[in-house]
Amino acid sequence: MKILYIHQYFNTPKMPGSTRSYEFAKRLVARGDTVYMVTTNWQGKSNLSYTLEEGIHVYWAPLFYNNRMGYLNRVFIFCRFLWYILSLGWKINFDLIIASSTPLTIALPSIFLKKLKGIKLLFEIRDLWPQLPIAIGAIKSSLVIKLAKWLENITYKHSDHIICLSPGMKSELSSIVTSNNITVVTNLSDIFKFQNYDDTQFKINLPINEKKHLVLYAGSFGRINGLLYLVEIANIVNRINKNICFLLVGDGYDKEKIINKSKEYGIYNNSLFCIDYISKDKIPTLFSRATIATSIFLGISEMKNNSANKFFDALAAGKPVMINYGGWQADLIKKTGCGFIIPSNKPENAAKILDKMINNKEKLKEMSKASLTLSQEFSIENNYRKFEQVIDHVTSL
């Protein structure tokens, strides 16, 4: 089978960010499928317009993107990518389209090519759009909101099957789409790589005293992540426990605000450190240094359905997970004991909870063991089998 796989933010292990589409695509190639991956050179990591990655034919649109960009700039990039998809898809023969969102706008060329080629469309929703951008005020215009909701509806209408990344997403979509046409395939825990990292191959020099407890955040610094809250917590923790430090790894819209606020508190490069993204293949070594891994978001109800990569990386690394939101991940923590939950907007309380947990060695060991056990449920192979079953079901219709 020949598959057109569209994902604007495709990454290889040599790049920072999620490698979900890479892991799935290379397994499709291994079973005998031909995969054409259409993406953007959004990180400026490829000097070529085409590469072959583990047998995946990758077409890199020459478009740079980061979440520091304003809304209009993002729309412009999205529109240019749509044209790139159409111009390339016109020339290639394929039997199935897999389109992974965000952004939701990739539905437009996907639907057009589906109709043109007379084939099936499998649409993957990584975040609930337009609910999230509306919730944080990124989309305010009533006209744009109406258009976004229209696009959401026609996407579901023309997709032969929907994959979403959490049970909560499925529950939300079930009011619009027949539940039989929705399958949950969560983000991935790469257990093998996180449990078999090679310190000699990937040495990461961090300006942190190795004897101190390390609280790690590795991910986006976007507005929706609300990392200024973690800075507030770090400032309070610095006053009550000098043996704890924080490391924030990534980039995004709020990075300068985070650094400036940390400097204002006098904790920057003292008890709070901030470094740029590192490639996915180095992440296991980074997590091995952590005492606790975190997943932080703004305190809005829409985030309860998220499927953050950093949560699943923490499980694969066997690290206690600290989160500040409710929903299905909070339920998993309560059920399995793989971590703990802090208040979403009470830094004093959160700092006290963190300090208490980090000083309880037995509790940390229990949470670490529970994390690694839970990661089996979200392993790459388990999730790929679900993904593969959906593909085979859709193409048999």
The two three-digit tokens of residue 122, written as one number: 């499998």
Phi, psi at residue 250, to the nearest 5°?
155, -155
User: Residue 203's pLDDT is what?
Assistant: 64
SS (H, E, C) 215-278: EEEEEECCHHHCCHHHHHHHHHHHHHCCCEEEEEEEECCCHHHHHHHHHHHCCECCCEEEECCC
Q: How far apart are the first and last CA of the chain?
A: 15
Query: Is pLDDT of 86 > 90?
Result: yes
In this prediction, residue 74 carries a pLDDT of: 67
pLDDT at 94 over 90: yes
- pLDDT, position 76: 73
Closest to 7 (Cα-Cα) out of 125, 178, 111: 125
pLDDT score at 192: 95
Query: 144 falls in which pLDDT band (50, 70, 90)?
Result: confident
State residue 172's pLDDT score.
86
Q: What are phi and psi of 365, to 5 degrees?
A: -65, -45
Q: What is the model's pTM?
A: 0.93
Please give the pLDDT value at position 300. 79
Of 44 and 276, the structure prediction assigns the larger pLDDT to 276
Encode pLDDT of 334-353 as tens digits. 999 999 999 999 999 999 99
Q: Where in the chain is the domain with CATH 3.40.50.2000?
A: 2-188+379-396, 192-377
* Separation between Cα atoms, residue 153 and residue 79, nearest integer Å: 19
Instruction: Indicate if the pLDDT at residue 165 is higher than 70.
Output: yes
Provide the pLDDT for residue 304: 86
Tens of pLDDT, residues 222-268 = 888 999 999 999 999 999 999 999 999 999 889 999 999 999 999 99
Give me the pLDDT at residue 200, please. 61
| Fold classification of 2-188+379-396 (topology level) | Rossmann fold (3.40.50)
DSSP 378: G
Could you read off the pLDDT of 259-308 as tens digits, one per residue? Answer: 999 999 999 999 999 999 899 999 999 999 999 999 999 877 777 889 99
pLDDT of residue 202: 60
Topology of the domain comprising 192-377: Rossmann fold (3.40.50)
What are the pLDDT digits (tens) for 16-25? 999 999 999 9
Residue 69: pLDDT band with limits 50, 70, 90: low
pLDDT, average across residues 138-160 = 83
Reduced to 3 states (helix: H, G, I; strand: E, B; else coil), residue 12 is coil
Contact yes or no for 305/166 (Cβ under 8 A)? yes
Residue 201 has pLDDT above 80, yes or no: no
